[in-house]
Amino acid sequence: MVTEVLRVNKDSYDILSKASLLLNKGELVAIPTETVYGLGANAYDKNACLNIFKAKGRPSDNPLIVHIAEPQDAEKIAFTNDLYYKLAQKFMPGPLTIILPKKEIIPNEVTAGLDSVAIRCPVHPVANALIKISGIPIAAPSANSSGKPSPTTAQHVYDDMNGKIPLILDGGECDVGVESTVIKITESEIVLLRPGAVTVEMLKEICPNVTIAGAVKEELQAGQVPLSPGMKYKHYAPQANLYLIDDRYIDFIEFTKEKQKTENCAIMCYNEEIELLENKNLLPVGNKDDIKKQTQRLFIILREADKLGVETIYAHLPNDEGESLAIYNRMIRACAHRVLGGINGEGK
Ligand code: AMP
Ligand code: MG
C-alpha cells in the first residue's frame, strides 16, 4: 500500500473530505492531535478497528480511546453523569480521556471486551474538524508501532506506518507531546490511570476525591490486575540502557562528565547544562524549569537516542508531582525503574 502524507490545517477542506471518505470506507488515517498523533478508524466499524491492532501490532486486550467532536456526543456511546459534564466544561475539548460505562453501539473489539469506553474530545483543530466532517466517532490509539515511543510528528508516524495505511495527515509537531490524561470516574470520585497535561491538582479543583492508581508511579507486581490494560504492557525502552539520576543525591554534572570519559553514552541534560558537559551525544530536553517544553520533546528525544548507537543513556529523575508526573511516568517505564541515588535507587 502506498502511504500518502498530506500537509493539512483545519481549512484544508478537500483533504479532510478525502480523509473522511477513507474513514467511512473502513480505512485507517493517521491524525494530528494536541497530545500525540493518533491512528484513527470509524469507532462503529469493528473490522476497521481490528485493523488498527494489526497495523500497530497492538495486543488485542488493550482497548482504544474513542474521539468525539463535542462533550455531549458522549451520550451516543456511553452512560454519562454530572461529574463527566463538570469535567467536560473545564477540560473538553482538550487532553483528558474519561472512562465511562459503554453503550452497545461501540463494538467489543474497541473496548477489548470491557463494559466501559474511554472518551476524548480533542482540541486540535484538524482532529476536531475531521471528526465533525466524518460524522462518526473515531477510535484512535497513538499512531506508533506497539513498543515504540508515541509519534509527535508526521515523520515519526511515517517511520512506523509506511506501507500499512493509506493516509497520514501532517499537522506539524504536537503541542503537548505525551498522551492524554486518562481517568475513570463515578458520580463522586476520580481514579487517575495515566498522567498527562491535565494534572491531579487541576482535577482536584473539580472533584477533591482523586486517587492515583498504584501503577502510575510504581512497577506493577507479578499477578496484580491493572485498572487499565495498558498498564501491564512493557512500555517503550530505548535500545541503550537508560538510567535516571536522582540529582538530590548525586551531582549530575560531576557524575555524567566522568561517564562521558569512560562510556559510550548519551546524556539527556537541561539546556543550562550543555556548556558544562563535553559536547558529545548530548540530548538537551529544554530549560530546567520548562516542564512543558521537556514534555513536548520527550518522545522526540527518545527516538533520537535510539539513532545514536550508544550503550547507556543518563537522564535526570523527573519530579513525580504536578505537571512533571506525566514525564516521570513515561521515563520510569523507559528506564525499567533503574534509578541511581536516593532511597529507591541502587546508589552510586
Ligand atoms: P493509547 O491508545 O496508546 O493512548 O492508550 C490508551 C490507554 O487507555 C491504554 O493504556 C488503555 O489501556 C487505556 N484504556 C482505554 N480504554 C479503557 C477502558 N475502557 N478502561 C481502562 N483503560 C482503558
Ligand atoms: Mg500508545
pLDDT tens profile 212-256: 998 898 877 777 777 777 776 667 778 899 999 999 999 999 999
* Local confidence pLDDT in tens for the 348 residues of the chain: 999 999 999 899 999 999 999 999 999 999 999 999 999 999 999 999 999 999 999 999 999 999 999 999 999 999 999 999 999 999 999 999 999 999 999 999 999 999 999 999 999 999 999 999 999 999 999 999 998 899 999 999 999 999 999 999 999 999 999 999 999 999 999 999 999 999 999 999 999 999 999 889 887 777 777 777 777 666 777 889 999 999 999 999 999 999 999 999 999 999 999 999 999 999 999 999 999 999 999 999 999 998 999 999 999 999 999 999 999 999 998 988 789 997 555 544
Q: What confidence score (pLDDT) does residue 234 get?
A: 61
Q: What confidence score (pLDDT) does residue 343 get?
A: 56
Does the CB atom of residue 146 touch ligand 1 within 6 A? no
CA 183 to chain centre: 14
Q: What confidence score (pLDDT) does residue 336 get?
A: 83
Q: What confidence score (pLDDT) does residue 224 get?
A: 75
Torsion on CA atoms 305, 311, 315, 320, rounded to nearest 10: 90
pLDDT per residue as tens digits for the range 249-285? 999 999 999 999 999 999 999 999 999 999 999 999 9
Please, what sign has the CA dihedral across residues 145, 149, 153, 155? negative
Does the CB atom of residue 151 touch ligand 1 within 6 A? no
Q: What confidence score (pLDDT) does residue 228 get?
A: 79
- Residue in 64, 142, 176, 225 to alter for ligand 1 test, most ligand atoms within 8 A of Cβ: 64
Q: What confidence score (pLDDT) does residue 137 get?
A: 98
**Residue 242: is it exposed, middle or buried by C-beta count within 10 angstroms (0-12/13-18/19+)?**
buried
Question: What are the residue ranges of CATH 3.90.870.10 in the chain?
Answer: 4-216
C-alpha to C-alpha distance for 228 and 184, rounded to whole angstroms: 9
**Domain 4-216 architecture:** Alpha-Beta Complex (3.90)
Among 324, 319, 323, 322, which Cα is nearest to 339's? Answer: 319
The DSSP letter of residue 86 is H
Question: Ligand 2 centroid vs 56 CA: distance in angstroms?
Answer: 9
Question: What are the residue ranges of CATH 3.40.50.11030 in the chain?
Answer: 241-340
Does the CB atom of residue 145 touch ligand 1 within 6 A? no
Q: What confidence score (pLDDT) does residue 219 get?
A: 77
**Ligand 1 atom closest to Cα of residue 229:** 12
CATH fold of 241-340 reads: Rossmann fold (3.40.50)
